[in-house]
Amino acid sequence: MPAVRRSAATDLALIASFAGLVAVCAVLPAIPVGGAVPITLQTFAVALTGLVLGPRRGFLALLLYVAVGLAGLPVLSGAVGGLGVLAGPSAGYLLAFPVAAAVAGAGSMLVRRVSGRWQVPALFTAATVASLLIVHPAGIAVLGWRLGLSAGEAVTAGAVFLPGDLLKNLLAAVVAAAVLRAYPELRRR
């Protein structure tokens, strides 16, 4: 297999490609759950980006995605864009994505030597830590603030996303393990 040469051009192409993947997952039809924030595939793409690209490139890919969306391109959930998104109840989730990708990527780097049957569980753990420590707390905090919910009500409203995010994290771990097996140079610093 050809080696992935580390260069600025390669890094830029990977960052832009994964930002595009997040955008595609964001504009696919969402699943309404009766609340103000629907379920999308964005968190799958955020986890996959971090797991495959690592902390630095994962962070930059999601920062690019968020910046392009806030600049007005309709790449955010619901095919919208612009600064007005920051006034909505899902702003906390959106703003947490770059940090979550970095955390998942850092976890992926920590488990890079794990192989075989333990690779997918290790990658799943890295993605889930990013979800539980970064995405959900930030998302729930802003959701509660924007909708005027008590802390308990906000946690209950945010809990509806946990089962789906666990499934998306598992899928991201399976896909990331396959990608990293096919292109092991992606993991090297």
pLDDT in tens, 4-47: 456 889 999 999 999 999 999 998 876 766 665 667 899 999 99
Q: Are 123 and 177 in contact (CB under 8 A)?
A: yes
The amino acid at 23: A
The amino acid at 59: F
Does position 135 have pLDDT exceeding 90, yes or no? Answer: yes
Per-residue pLDDT, 29: 73
Per-residue pLDDT, 176: 96
Per-residue pLDDT, 145: 94
| Cα 71 to Cα 56: distance, rounded to the nearest angstrom | 22
Residues above pLDDT 90, as percent of the chain: 68
Position with higher pLDDT, 117 vs 62:
62
Per-residue pLDDT, 77: 86
Residues above pLDDT 70, as percent of the chain: 91
Per-residue pLDDT, 114: 76
Query: What is the overall mean pLDDT for the chain?
Result: 90
Per-residue pLDDT, 185: 81
CB-based burial of residue 38 (10 Å sphere; 0-12 exposed, 13-18 middle, 19+ buried)? middle
Per-residue pLDDT, 36: 58
| Cα 104 to Cα 125: distance, rounded to the nearest angstrom | 9
Per-residue pLDDT, 43: 94
Nearest to 94 by CA among 139, 49, 58, 39: 139
Q: Centre a 10 Å sphere on the Cβ of residue 169 and count the other Cβ atoms it contains.
A: 27
Q: Centre a 10 Å sphere on the Cβ of residue 7 and count the other Cβ atoms it contains.
A: 9
Nearest to 108 by CA among 30, 41, 53, 168: 53
Instruction: Pick from 49-53, 113-117, 143-147 the range whose average pLDDT is largest.
Output: 49-53
In the structure, how many helices (H) and strands (E) does the chain have? 7, 0
State the pTM of this model: 0.90
Question: Which tokens sit at 61?
Answer: 């890919």
Does position 1 have pLDDT exceeding 60, yes or no? Answer: no
| Cα 84 to Cα 172: distance, rounded to the nearest angstrom | 30
- Domains annotated on the chain, with CATH: 8-187 (1.10.1760.20)
